[in-house]
Amino acid sequence: MNRCFELAQLGRSTAHPNPMVGCVIVYDGKIIGEGYHTGFGKPHAEVEAIRSVNDKSLLQHSTLYVNLEPCAHHGKTPPCANLIIENKIPNVVISNVDPHEKVAGKGIKLLESAGIQVKTGVLSEKGSNLNKNFFTFHQKKRPYIVLKWAQTSDGYMGRSAGDSSMNKAISNDFSNQLVHELRANSDAILVGTNTAIVDNPALTTRLVPGRNPLRVAIDLRRRIPKSHKLYDGSASTLIIGPSQEAVSAEFANPPANADIWPFILETLFERNVVQLLVEGGNNVLTQLIEANLWDEAIIITGDQKWKNGIKAPILSITEATRTFSLSTDTIHIINNK
């Protein structure tokens, strides 16, 4: 199963919005086939693994290991459970039951009804952590929300208005590359109005190979200038607010007096955004923290001290599940328990 996890992660930046899945086929104690889900709409891990077996006659005496329950419905590809049955594989070992309502145990029942021995729950905690965004999306009906910000060693994330050194970067080039990797592994990236206006970010994955996420900006009063990078057409863009003409973007305008965050998250859920990266300012980040609408926070702490400016949100870095250094920067990753 650990090998399944290793294989699954090869699709980290390409499987979206599908989960990462790896599959291994074992005969007489030896691996005879393996595969992983390489991308949305492409063959699933089980298909790739079965295809890789040279002597198909061995399949009827083998055990198939997969970290997520084989599908039992027709989607972009045929049901994997049916393929397993057709190849008469007698044993299947699964880490996690698929939370998707179209699967959710149906694949297991289909296998068992065909006389296949099925074992579930193998390294299930590790398996669910691997696809934590996918599980959150289907169980909570919202994206997996990752908060990201950079702060100085004394806790400031931005300069005060009018400060002559306002644009001085906090994080180094290594951290900037990490951020672009986070973007490539996310389905959407969100900023608030002030961040969009003041920073004029492109919100693309320029520093690493990979797809650009959907760019999302909150602009309830049409304040973002049409000349800003969000409207340059370089990536798909969604504006939360009233529509405008002559700009390259889609719009989703919340009803009057609507609670803004449930509206945004429901809108993104309907657009199949499994993972949302939030790179907003203090206001947006604090709102999500106070509403407990976050799953993971990535805090980049530089070695500078500003002594004044805009304070960063407050989360206890002592609760970080992982801490590491990138040259002069320290990265804290905090999971919301």
Q: Which residues are catalytic?
A: 46
By residue count, the chain amounts to 337
- Diameter of the chain measured on Cα atoms: 74
Cα dihedral 53, 56, 59, 64, rounded to 10, equals: 30
The CA–CA distances, whole Å, from 84 to 51, 103, 119 equal 11, 15, 15
Q: What is the CA radius of gyration of the chain?
A: 23
Q: d(Cα 196, Cα 185) in Å, to the nearest integer? A: 21
The CA–CA distances, whole Å, from 244 to 36, 205, 239, 254, 299 equal 43, 26, 10, 15, 34
Any residues with CB less than 8 A from the CB of 162 and at least 6 apart, and which?
none
Would you give the distance in Å from CA 283 to the centre of its chain? 23
Any residues with CB less than 8 A from the CB of 75 and at least 6 apart, and which?
102
Supply 35's token pair: 């595969």
Residue 141 is classified by DSSP as S
Residue 254 is classified by DSSP as P
Cα dihedral 100, 105, 108, 109, rounded to 10, equals: -130
Amino acid letter, residue 274:
V
DSSP reduced 3-state for 261: helix
